[in-house]
Structure 1
């Protein structure tokens, strides 16, 4: 028989702390995230390690993970690095500036002065990115030959401008459409001209988007290799061609190529790290009205 506690008798409380439930799914997702991060980072780590090895160690099988680092590969890469660096800087930033000069007015017009064909224009500009580069390299090569633009920095800037122009128009159009249209209506009531709307209102309000788009355009131009390999040889060769120059008739100098690749990605990593706040702010611009 169970004896009930008399009235007034306090039942001792159970002070044993409860263990929180184990979140197995969250732990698996965290482990998967770390695994994917490692898989994406491992090729970069392998490249950096190979840059400090000898050529024999870089080709050794099984791979060597414990070795004495050397700097000879960087010394060889530095001998041809700076001309290619200047070409990459000129092509990347020159094409980005030119793409913004042409793309910002187009994005502004397509955002605030729409016509029934505005969507068709945007779709057509985006469709130019669908064509494979190998399908247009022959007519581009003939065109550059007739215009004497082969192996010239202006030719490379023009090529990268056409490559980045649809990106600039599409991204800046999406940013500008998030600006409240009532601002421009109020400005027109006060007698503001189109140029006043563009330079005095649209551009300042789109600065986060401009910074993010500019960073992406610079990175795309910096990493481009196909057109650079086919349209340049020595005078205007950017860093992407500079990396490929370590594969010669004598063989593939893997360690030296790895050192050249490290020197190539280092500036854009530093630039992206410095501008990461502007990039995140620009990519999230307009996400919440």
Structure 2
């Protein structure tokens, strides 16, 4: 039987959640606020909060200096492309682990996740040399491949978790009705796992969108996404905080908007199967 929650406990939990949310959101708020300041106001001590002359000159300077739309399109292609390619590989793998379990299934899953523990810099040199030999440096194709491999363990693990919540008897009934393997997966399994797949897609798009290490080291100009766009405002002469904040705001705005409108689907997917 569920334990009753008192109004005082509910109010306390709400207050704690609000404080945690404010702490998490504050860096984004400060970045957006700084983007409307002059460079002098951005580094003022003590900090200037709202009593300053709001200006759009930083956004004008950023757009004049950089091709924002090119970087934006590169980010879209790389993040969406790597996520879709990852799904093509991960769906069969997760299906096999969830419905044809073996003694080593959990060991394989743990091994896949253990690859995320390796520092990226540890494999930078061989991947860089390989990409240079194959002509994949500074190409969207190369980044799609790299980000797919990086996020593939997470995609497989999440899909495996969601697939395990689907009763195997439903798939057996589909086979008894004459469905082949492709029809079983496409017409029975995937529609039932839509919430979980949606959250997997959203999470991995965000991870790929925010990836900086590989995008900075494997691109120069043509395939540079928004992470490289932001990094270009760090120079030997110093940091231009106001312009850097404007570039950061322009880079995170699309993913923030997407997350805001898809938050219900994301929460639904992340809690898929948590309550029975």
What TM-score, normalized to structure 2? 0.91
1:209-288 aligned at under 5 Å gives the runs 209-288=196-275
Give the total of aligned pairs: 268
Query: Hey, what does 1:72 align to over in structure 2?
Result: 57
Call closer, same or farther: CA 1:175–1:28 in 2, change over 3 Å: closer
Q: Write out per-residue CA displacement over residues 19-76 of structure 1, whole angstroms, 9 at most, x where no aligned residue.
A: xx994x7666554443333322221121111100111111121112210100011112
Provide the secondary structure at the position in 2 that maps to 1:233.
coil
Q: Write out per-residue CA displacement over residues 160-199 of structure 1, whole angstroms, 9 at most, x where no aligned residue.
A: 1011211111101111111111112222222321112111
CA distance in 1, matches of 2:55, 2:245: 13
The structure in which a higher percent of residues are helix is: 2
CA distance in 2, matches of 1:232, 1:22: 54
CA distance in 2, matches of 1:99, 1:58: 41
CA distance in 2, matches of 1:233, 1:138: 16
Call closer, same or farther: CA 1:22–1:203 in 2, change over 3 Å: closer
Call closer, same or farther: CA 1:26–1:279 in 2, change over 3 Å: closer
Provide the secondary structure at the position in 2 that maps to 1:128.
helix
Call closer, same or farther: CA 1:194–1:42 in 2, change over 3 Å: same
CA distance in 2, matches of 1:110, 1:204: 18
Call closer, same or farther: CA 1:22–1:115 in 2, change over 3 Å: closer
Provide the secondary structure at the position in 2 that maps to 1:285.
coil
| Unmatched segments (≥5 aa) in structure 1 | 1-20
Give, in angstroms, the shift of residue 280 of structure 1.
1.6
Call closer, same or farther: CA 1:40–1:210 in 2, change over 3 Å: same
CA distance in 2, matches of 1:108, 1:246: 45
CA distance in 2, matches of 1:208, 1:188: 24
CA distance in 2, matches of 1:22, 1:180: 38
CA distance in 2, matches of 1:219, 1:140: 23
CA distance in 2, matches of 1:190, 1:41: 51
1:46 corresponds to 2:33? no
Equivalent of 1:60 in 44, 48, 53: 44
